[in-house]
Amino acid sequence: MQSLEHYTEKAATLSLRNQCWIDGKYVASVSGARFDSINPATGAVLTDVARGGAEDIDRAVKAARAAFADGRWSGKTPAQRKEALLKLAALLRENLEEFALLDTLDMGKPITETMTGDVPGAAHFFQWHGEAIDKLYDEVAPTGGRDLALIRRVPLGVIGAVVPWNFPLDMATWKLAPALAAGNSVVLKPAEQSPLSALRLGELAAEAGLPDGVLNVVPGFGEDAGQALGRHPDVDCLVFTGSTVVGKLFQRYAGESNMKQVWLETGGKSPNIIFPDADLDAAADMAAFGIFYNQGEVCSANSRMLVHESIAEDMLERMKTRAEAITVGNPLSPETTMGAMVDANHATRVEGFLKAGRESARLVTGGERLTIGGSDAFIAPTIFADVPMEAKIASEEIFGPVLSVQTFRDEDEAVAIANNTIYGLAASVWTRDISRAVSMSDRLHAGTVSVNTVDALSAMTPFGGMKQSGFGRDLSLHSFDKYSALKTVWIKY
């Protein structure tokens, strides 16, 4: 890692793309409206960005439809699409520092995380899906006689992708990589809090060889650009990562327009269950990571710790030590291990949960909103104990560095507490007993159950939820299911 001075100097010289990327070029929004992209760690305006609306979405969808219809991308062989995506992965690695700075400045996460995690991860996901696409085979049905029935996997057409601000580049990549690899064209709407890396990505994709119109990026607000994309009659599929409330809106938009497919990855309130036979130091290390990484702004964050009553105070002391060792500060400093909330409004929202926690539970550490470098968008790593089941902090997604700790007596009670939520995205279990581990994984209602770790994730395994955490899966070969259709071609000869 470089020094704070190095990253500060580089940040000051960045060229920030701030217009819509449509049909292979940067263009102003039709209305001319703009909005400020703000660095939450300082409160300073980074740049003003084109505020896309319905007309801009329509332009982007038309460009995407034309690109799909004439086969400039969908008509390429899988090997040719693979080549372009591998080039894009290589370009991301070549421009690692630039993209890391864009996401750090835009959403306040530490530069150490964007340099070592987010941008390398995005490059890896483009590479993985690119490598996979020419290894997926169609099928021949065993019809017999003088019949040949082919079962072909074909691209859907135009994909609308709406992604959140917590991992701006990574979440865009999770949607774009399989959608593009499968041969679709895409209109991407990044979150208004963090549009900069997505806008630069459009340009980089063109450099990698994606034809004009195949990838379009329209920054804007949910009520304008997001709703227009969800309602557009020429979008074949809408994919979304974000809040459960907004996910339900996209389902409504689809039903009220062209009944487009909608795939959602929404909220979470993931339990982390720790039994007495676990490696308690390892459990504490990973539990701290599971709630404090990325300022707790993670949909699958392990925000509920369920601890066996016999080790509760021991684990609380371990967690308190780890929370108080976190360095909250300037995201451009390599010494910082927790940055700012994405903006002051979100910090205010999280602060409301801190107040609710102090009224209903025992504060172990933290519980404060912090002002650093002139910005009040920072929250101290916080732990609450003795949290009642009915408490707001035990049931609602906080999306901040706030851990709720509850106790249980036995497996049945642990499962009952863990499953007592509208969400079902992730869960973790800590035990050395393999029978218990398997049994618990069977009983927990979650898309991913991690055993003796938290939030286990790989390009090779599907990621997604149950209940009101959504449906459909990102990553793995199963991600292609969202971006393709099965077509039967039956030939009599």
Q: State the residue for tokens 């969808």.
A: 61
What percentage of the chain carries pLDDT values higher than 70?
100
Residue type present at position 398: I
Residue 195 has pLDDT above 90, yes or no: yes
Beta bridge partners of 52: 220
CATH 2.40.50.140 at 271-459, yes or no:
no
Residue 197 has pLDDT above 90, yes or no: yes
Show me where the domains of the chain are located.
4-266+469-490, 271-459
Contacts of 38 (CB under 8 A, 6+ apart): 44, 45, 46, 343
For 421-468, how does the pLDDT look when each residue is reduced to its tens digit (9 = 90+)? 999 999 999 999 999 999 999 999 999 999 999 999 999 999 999 999
For 303-320, how does the pLDDT look when each residue is reduced to its tens digit (9 = 90+)? 999 999 999 999 999 999
Q: In the chain, what is the greatest distance between 2 CA atoms, to the nearest angstrom? A: 77
Looking at residues 395-421, what average pLDDT do you find?
A: 98
| C-alpha span between 488 and 152 (Å, rounded) | 6
For 79-119, how does the pLDDT look when each residue is reduced to its tens digit (9 = 90+)? 999 999 999 999 999 999 999 999 999 999 999 999 999 99
Residues that are catalytic = 265
| C-alpha span between 143 and 152 (Å, rounded) | 15
Looking at residues 457-481, what average pLDDT do you find?
A: 97
Q: For residue 76, what pLDDT band results from cuts at 50, 70 and 90? A: very high
Question: Given this model, what pLDDT does residue 100 score?
Answer: 98
| C-alpha span between 9 and 330 (Å, rounded) | 14
3-state secondary structure of 82: helix
- Interaxial angle between packed helices 78-94 and 196-208, expressed in degrees from 0 to 180 and rounded to the nearest 10: 130
Q: For residue 141, what pLDDT band results from cuts at 50, 70 and 90? A: very high
Question: Given this model, what pLDDT does residue 293 score?
Answer: 98
What percentage of the chain carries pLDDT values higher than 90?
99
Measured CA to CA in angstroms, residue 345 lies from 232, 266, 276, 349, 400 at distances of: 30, 20, 40, 6, 12
Q: For residue 138, what pLDDT band results from cuts at 50, 70 and 90? A: very high
Question: Do residues 100 and 118 make contact, with C-beta atoms less than 8 angstroms apart?
Answer: yes
> Pairing between strand 484-492 and 147-155?
antiparallel
Question: Given this model, what pLDDT does residue 284 score?
Answer: 98
Question: Given this model, what pLDDT does residue 220 score?
Answer: 98
> Where does 293-383 have alpha helices with state H?
312-324, 344-360
DSSP code per residue over 136-162? ---EEE---TTEEEEEEEEE-SEEEEE
Expressed in angstroms, the distance from the first to the final Cα of the chain is: 65
Question: Given this model, what pLDDT does residue 144 score?
Answer: 87
Identical fold, 4-266+469-490 and 271-459: no
Using left for φ > 0, alpha for ψ between -120 and 50, and beta otherwise, residue 145 falls in left
Residue type present at position 64: A
Q: What is the mean pLDDT of the chain?
A: 98
| C-alpha span between 429 and 275 (Å, rounded) | 8
Question: Given this model, what pLDDT does residue 487 score?
Answer: 98
Residue 23 has pLDDT above 90, yes or no: yes
* pTM of the complete model beyond 0.95: yes
Measured CA to CA in angstroms, residue 99 lies from 52, 136, 198, 458 at distances of: 22, 31, 9, 21
Q: For residue 37, what pLDDT band results from cuts at 50, 70 and 90? A: very high
Q: Specify the CATH number for 4-266+469-490; select among 3.40.50.970, 3.30.70.260, 3.40.50.300, 3.40.605.10.
A: 3.40.605.10
